[in-house]
A and B are shown apart, each in its own frame.
Chain A
Amino acid sequence: GAGVSQSPRYKVAKRGQDVALRCDPISGHVSLFWYQQALGQGPEFLTYFQNEAQLDKSGLPSDRFFAERPEGSVSTLKIQRTQQEDSAVYLCASSWDRNQPQHFGDGTRLSIL
C-alpha cells in the first residue's frame, strides 16, 4: 500500500518487558514523527527525524524511550522496562517536506499489564 504502515497493530506486554514498534513511512518521505496518544486525548509529540538524523527528541518522556531510523526510511520506537503508564496508542507520521501535511499510520495500541 501507499500509506504509512505500523506494526504490530496491538501489543500486550508485562510490566518490565522491552517492546519495539515499527513504522514504515511513505516511500520518499523525508520527515518522520512519532506521537503518543492517550485514551480520549490528542496525540503528543515524541520525536522527529529528518532522513536518518534524529533532530528533536524532546518529547520522549524518559530515557527508557529510544527511537532510530538508521537508513532514513523504516523507524523503530523502543521502550525499555515498560511501565503501566506507557499504555497508549503510538502513532507514526511522515511527510514529504517540512511544510507539508503529515500522513499518519493506524498506530500501535500498547497495553502494559
Chain B
Amino acid sequence: SQQGEEDPQALSIQEGENATMNCSYKTSINNLQWYRQNSGRGLVHLILIRSNEREKHSGRLRVTLDTSKKSSSLLITASRAADTASYFCATDAKYYGNNRLAFGKGNQVVVIP
C-alpha cells in the first residue's frame, strides 16, 4: 500500500507561474523525497528533506516538511514547459529500516508555454 498522498493530482498552469503540490503520510519517517517522472521514463530524484529539517531549497524548488502534521509541500517557481511531468513524493519510513520508499499516487503537472 502507498503511504504518501499528493494533493492536487492534476495541475495545469501557464509558463512562469508557480506550482505547489502537497503530500501527506502516516508513519514516522527518516526522510521524505520528491521525484519527477516524464512519460515513459524512470523517476528522477529532485530533493530529499530529512525528518529534522523544515525547509530545503534546490534551484527553483522549495520543499517544506511538517512532521507534526505529517505533510510536505513542493513548490516549483517560475515554471517552464520542461517541468511538465508527474511528481511523486516518497517516504523512507523508520519502520522498515532499509530505505525502501513508499510513493504517493503522483501529481500530473502540465505547464502551458
Contact = CB atoms under 8 A, between A and B. Distances in A.
Given A101-B33, A104-B43, A95 B101 contact: no
Contact of A102 (B30, B40, B101, B104): B101
A31 B99 contact: yes
Given A41-B105, A42-B2, A42-B105, A33 B42 contact: no
B106 A42 contact: yes
A100 to B, nearest CB: 8
B98 A99 contact: no
B48 interface: yes
B103 A55 contact: no
Nearest to A55: B98
Size bracket of the A interface: 20 to 34
A44 interface: yes
B104 A42 contact: yes
B44 interface: yes
B39 to A, nearest CB: 11
A56 B42 contact: no
Interface in A34-91: 35, 40-45, 48, 50, 55-56, 59, 91
Nearest to A41: B105
B4 A42 contact: yes
B52 to A, nearest CB: 13
A21 interface: no
Contact of B103 (A43, A95, A105): A43
A45 B43 contact: no
Interface of B: 1-2, 4, 30-31, 33, 35, 40-45, 48, 88, 90, 96, 98-106
Interface of A: 4, 31, 33, 35, 40-45, 48, 50, 55-56, 59, 91, 93, 95, 98-99, 101-107
